[in-house]
């Protein structure tokens, strides 16, 4: 026996070494493949381009589909990286500066209500001027459009985590005399990692939805098509090529599953290490990809290489001061500063509003606002129906999934894939169905909007139901509480705040989705619904910037007004009456 023990230990060490060697080989091969693909895709990004000779469509040859899919995937991840950098900068300034917060947060509320097409119509010319004669300008316009569908949700999530940090952690950062750079990476980012990852995953799914609109850009009576799976579906739809559409949907499903398996699943599992307190996830996240990375030494060596960069940035930012700020400020000085700040900001807003109204009055007239408001009421009715129906369907299902760990383990990845799949890829088939049945798009548009917006309610209800304390569940069962009373006294109050979060996100997503849901086509047949989304889409395609501005302003007023008057009040009710803490 004394002879076998060293031998067994030697075998264990050898097995661990072989496992590490295999993991290193897998990681290195993965990095090599990724680097090769980036180099290959970069060749197309810098290709020559002139607006006069720009292609209005792409080839539907199936041989091009893998390359198109990778080009779309590259745009999505570049937009995600840009959204992350924007989130870190914007949310940090808003959370750490009292005066900046008063502007940046309302501005963010407005920006998330502006439709993607509006950003495209305003910024396309700027990108083409910045990168003349190169496809890079059009690529930047497309990435920027995807960025606008991802950034706002992530920024709100990170801002919320910064403003709700435990007071003891803030005091510890002050006592330790951390620099702003150290506090950001040692406290701010870790404390906001879990909401940032989950909201990033939801935002990434929202970016898939607007892939067609961002790759086939119709602005000012010109159409520019970029190589991508979204433009491939648009071309196949125009040519009524059903097999090509089905093939693209199959490739899209594989790509969504691959991204969730290789990127989001390991990221959500890794983020669990930043969970604070005594809480833990009801269903532990597992990922084969994360397991391989943890066994490999490559990430550790990469961290060692990048560590001097972090130290250099820390040294460079030290002159800007420490993370602590004065706890007491002279009241008179603060009041005077607030007055000056308010006057300057008020004058800038007034000047911008007057200039915009003068432009609209000189082009289409201020009476156009009345037309847009009436169309906005029609779209608003669709949004209300969507939220009500989605609530009735998905709240019971979400509660069932969230309160059953075994079901959660199976259903949550499925829901993630369904939520990430761009529902507008199915629009051609529903358009055919509407044409065949004679159902008006005024009614069918509700279903098209719901395809992309309903998942926000399901996601948040699952999260709320899974957070119900186990002792409360067991108590309701042991006391023999009836099913109806259990729903009324425990389940509905517990998931109410989560439903409000899902409802406000779904409503905002539905308003944005109305741009592509109220004007759909198949071949040479185009169906148009009555609504504000169709108004903005048609104005943007025709290059009517005045009507585009009118439509965007009215949609922004609807979204921000409803958020302030309705959803914010529900948030306060949830905090005061239905909080479990």
Q: How many CA atoms lie within 13 A of 149 on its CB side?
A: 36
Q: Which pLDDT does position 4 carry in this prediction? A: 46
> Tell me, what's the pLDDT at 82?
94
Alpha carbon separation from 523 to 146, 171, 268, 429, 530 (Å, rounded): 26, 63, 41, 12, 21
Q: Is residue 23 part of a domain?
A: yes
Most confident option among 128-132, 306-310, 536-540, 541-545: 536-540
Instruction: Choose the most confident range, by mean pLDDT, from 261-270, 335-344, 365-374.
Output: 365-374
Residues 306 and 373 grouped into a single domain: no
In a domain, 336, yes or no: no
Q: Please give the average per-residue pLDDT across 307-315, as a whole number.
A: 73
Whether residues 146 and 1 share a domain: the answer is yes
Mean pLDDT computed over 124-129: 80
In a domain, 358, yes or no: no
As beta bridge partners, residue 179 has: 322
Bridge partners (DSSP) listed for residue 528: 519
Q: Is the pTM of this model over 0.85?
A: no
Q: What is the DSSP letter of 489?
A: I
Confidence (pLDDT) at 149: 83
For 533, the token pair is 């989304």
* pLDDT over 90 at 162, yes or no: no
- Residue 352's pLDDT is what? 77
Same domain, 80 and 155: yes
- For residues 451 and 409, which has the higher predicted lDDT (pLDDT)? 451
Instruction: Report pLDDT for 86.
Output: 94
Question: Percent of the chain at pLDDT above 70?
Answer: 88
β pairing state of 519-522 and 222-225: unpaired
Domain boundary among 327, 349, 374: 327
List pLDDT tens digits, range 535-565. Answer: 988 888 777 888 888 888 898 889 888 888 8
Read off the pLDDT band of 247 (50, 70, 90). very high
Closest CA to 138 of 71, 51, 234: 51
Identify whether residues 275 and 391 lie together within a single domain.
no
Which residue range forms the structural domain that includes residue 211? 1-327
* Sheet strands (E) in 339-446: none
CA–CA distance, 581 with 579 (Å, rounded to integer): 6
Tell me the CATH number at 61.
Answer: 1.10.3720.10
**Which helix (H) or strand (E) is 165 found in, with range?**
none
Per-residue pLDDT band for 373 (boundaries 50, 70, 90) equals very high
Q: Do 316 and 372 fall within a single domain? A: no
Locate 564 and state its tokens: 């302030």
Q: Please check whether residue 224 is in contact with residue 138, taking contact to mean a CB–CB distance below 8 angstroms.
A: yes
- SS3 of residue 472 by DSSP: helix
* C-alpha–C-alpha distance, residues 434 and 268, integer Å: 39
73 pLDDT band, cuts 50/70/90, is very high
User: Domains in the chain: how many in total?
Assistant: 2
**223 with 370, same domain?**
no
Predicted confidence at residue 165, as pLDDT, reads 75
Q: Which of 327, 355, 379 lies at the terminal end of a domain, its last residue? A: 327
Q: What is the reported pLDDT for 382?
A: 92
Same domain, 301 and 387: no
- Regarding whether 386 and 306 lie in a shared domain, the answer is no
pLDDT at 3 over 80: no
Whether residue 81 is predicted with pLDDT greater than 50 in this model: the reply is yes
Model pLDDT for residues 473-505, shown as the tens digit of each residue: 777 777 777 777 778 778 888 888 778 878 887
- Count of other CB atoms within 10 angstroms of residue 261: 15
**pLDDT tens digits, residue range 174-229?**
777 777 778 888 888 888 888 888 788 878 887 887 787 788 877 666 778 888 89
Contact 208, 249 (CB under 8 A): no
Q: Is residue 192 included in any domain, yes or no?
A: yes
216 within some domain = yes
Is the residue at 355 inside a domain? no
Higher pLDDT, residue 469 or 201: 201
List all residues 6 or more positions away from 432 whose beta carbon is below 8 Å from its beta carbon: 522
CA 501 to chain centre: 14
Residue 349 has pLDDT above 80, yes or no: no
Instruction: Say which residue the tokens 């006057």 belong to.
Output: 343
What is the pLDDT of the chain when averaged over all its residues? 80
Q: What value, to the nearest 5°, has the Cα angle with vertex 183 and ends 181 and 188?
A: 110
Residue 25 lies in a domain: yes
What pLDDT shows up at residue 327? Answer: 46
C-beta atoms surrounding 327 within 10 Å: 6
Burial (CB count within 10 angstroms: exposed 0-12, middle 13-18, buried 19+), residue 375 = buried
Q: What are phi and psi of 97, to 5 degrees?
A: -120, 115
- In the predicted model, is pLDDT for residue 79 greater than 90? yes
Same domain, 308 and 424: no
CA distances from 247 to 66, 71, 117, 417 (A): 11, 17, 27, 18
End residue of a domain, out of 271, 301, 327: 327
Let me know whether 170 and 312 are in one domain.
yes
Same-domain status, 277 and 414: no
Q: Does residue 56 share a domain with residue 7?
A: yes
323 within 8 A of 183, measured Cβ to Cβ? yes
pLDDT of residue 284: 60
Whole-number CA gyration radius for the chain: 26
Distances (CA, A) of 279 to 49, 96, 352, 398, 506: 54, 27, 48, 21, 28
User: Two tokens at 350?
Assistant: 């007034």
Comparison of pLDDT for 87 and 311, the residue scoring more: 87
- Higher-scoring residue by pLDDT: 242, 50: 242
By mean pLDDT, which of 322-326, 341-345, 455-459 is the weakest?
322-326
Res. 15: pLDDT tops 70: no
Percent of the chain with pLDDT over 90: 9
Is 350 a member of any domain?
A: no
């Amino acid at each position: 026996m004394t002879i076998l023990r060293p031998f067994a230990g030697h075998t264990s060490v050898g097995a661990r070494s072989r496992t590490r060697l295999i993991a290193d080989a897998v990681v290195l091969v993965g990095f090599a493949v990724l680097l090769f693909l980036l180099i290959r895709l970069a060749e197309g990004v810098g290709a020559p381009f002139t607006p006069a000779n720009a292609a209005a469509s792409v080839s539907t040859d199936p041989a091009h589909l893998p390359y198109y899919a990778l080009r779309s995937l590259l745009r999505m991840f570049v937009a995600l990286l840009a959204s992350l950098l924007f989130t870190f900068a914007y949310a940090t300034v808003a959370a750490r500066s009292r005066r900046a917060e008063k502007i940046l947060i309302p501005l963010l509320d407005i920006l998330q209500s502006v439709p993607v097409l509006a950003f495209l119509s305003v910024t396309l010319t700027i990108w083409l001027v910045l990168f003349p004669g190169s496809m890079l300008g059009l690529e930047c316009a497309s990435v920027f459009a995807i960025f606008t569908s991802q950034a706002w949700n992530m920024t709100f999530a990170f801002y919320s985590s910064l403003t709700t940090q435990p007071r003891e952690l803030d005091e510890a950062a002050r006592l330790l005399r951390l620099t702003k750079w150290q506090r950001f990476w040692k406290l701010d980012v870790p404390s906001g990692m879990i909401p940032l990852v989950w909201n990033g995953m939801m935002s990434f799914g929202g970016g898939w939805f607007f892939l067609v609109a961002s790759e086939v850009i119709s602005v000012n009576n010109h159409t520019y098509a970029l190589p991508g799976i979204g433009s491939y579906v648009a071309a196949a739809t125009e040519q009524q090529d059903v097999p090509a559409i089905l093939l693209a949907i199959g490739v899209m499903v594989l790509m969504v599953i691959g991204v969730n398996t290789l990127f989001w699943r390991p990221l959500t599992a890794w983020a669990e290490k930043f969970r604070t307190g005594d809480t833990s996830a009801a269903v532990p996240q597992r990922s084969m990809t994360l397991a391989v990375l943890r066994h490999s030494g490559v990430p550790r060596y990469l961290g060692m290489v990048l560590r001097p960069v972090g130290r250099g940035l820390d040294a460079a930012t030290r002159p800007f001061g420490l993370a602590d700020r004065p706890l007491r400020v002279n009241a008179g000085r603060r009041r005077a500063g607030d007055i000056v700040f308010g006057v300057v900001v008020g004058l800038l807003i007034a000047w911008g509003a007057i200039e915009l109204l003068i432009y609209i009055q000189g082009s289409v007239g201020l009476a156009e606002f009345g037309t847009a408001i009436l169309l906005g009421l029609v779209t608003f009715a669709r949004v209300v129906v969507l939220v009500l129906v989605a609530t009735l369907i998905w709240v019971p299902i979400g509660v069932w999934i969230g309160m059953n760990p075994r079901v959660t383990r199976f259903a949550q990845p499925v829901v993630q894939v369904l939520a990430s799949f761009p529902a507008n890829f199915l629009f051609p088939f529903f358009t055919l169905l509407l044409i065949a049945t004679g159902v008006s798009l005024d009614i069918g548009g509700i279903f098209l909007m719901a395809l992309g917006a309903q998942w926000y309610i399901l996601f948040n209800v699952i999260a709320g139901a899974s957070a119900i304390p186990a002792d409360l569940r067991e108590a309701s069962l042991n006391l023999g509480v009836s099913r109806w009373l259990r729903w009324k006294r425990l389940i509905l109050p517990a998931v109410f705040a989560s439903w409000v979060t899902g409802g406000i996100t779904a409503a905002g997503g539905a308003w944005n989705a109305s741009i592509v849901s109220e004007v759909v086509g198949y071949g040479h047949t185009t169906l148009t619904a009555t609504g504000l989304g169709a108004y903005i889409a048609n104005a943007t395609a025709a290059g009517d910037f005045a009507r585009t501005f009118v439509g965007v302003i009215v949609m922004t007023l609807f979204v921000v007004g409803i958020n302030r008057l309705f959803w914010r009040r529900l948030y306060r009710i949830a905090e005061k009456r239905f909080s479990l803490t």
